[in-house]
Amino acid sequence: MDPEYLTGIDEIDTQHKEIEEVAAAVIEAVEARDKWHIVHYIVVRLYELLRFHFTVEEAMMRITGFPEIEEHKRVHREMLTTVERMKSATLDPNLGEDSDILKKQFSFLSHIVDHDKRLAEFMVANVSHLKK
């Protein structure tokens, strides 16, 4: 993972790294022209990782009183909707996804990190036990 994307919160950074790796595995599977059910399984895994990650973050936001919670949650919903569409599309064994299209769809991963960095900065500044 690119160091510029690190939030400074180990658990969040670990989750980002795993999400990034699974998204890359989806693209690799499509480029390798793996069978549709293999691609579907990987997309389902990505969806579950994102859903868990967003649940953790939203809990952190509620606990800490993060002021941008509604916007952050809106972005989460949009991302899950995008991956949900991918998941549904992979159920069609005749549907081939172009890896370039997937790469564009996965550009949302950088948005996850951008939003999460603002959350991390807020937490470090406002939650005393996170201050260095």
pLDDT, tens only, 48-72: 999 999 999 999 999 889 998 999 8
Whole-number pLDDT of residue 80: 92
Residue 58: predicted pLDDT = 94
Sequence-ordered list of residues with C-beta below 8 angstroms from that of 86, at least 6 positions apart, any chain: 26, 43, 97, 102, 105
User: What is the pLDDT at residue 87?
Assistant: 86
The pLDDT confidence band at residue 35, using thresholds 50, 70 and 90, is confident
Task: Please report, for the domain that includes residue 49, its CATH number.
Answer: 1.20.120.50
Domains of the chain: total: 1
Residue range of the domain that includes 117: 3-130
Can you give the pTM of this predicted structure?
A: 0.81
Output the DSSP codes for 3-69.
Answer: GGG--S-HHHHHHHHHHHHHHHHHHHHHHTT--HHHHHHHHHHHHHHHHHHHHHHHHHHHHHT-TTH
- pLDDT of 95 reads 56
Average model confidence (pLDDT) across the chain: 82
Q: What is the pLDDT of residues 100-128, one digit of tens each?
A: 566 666 666 666 667 788 888 888 788 76
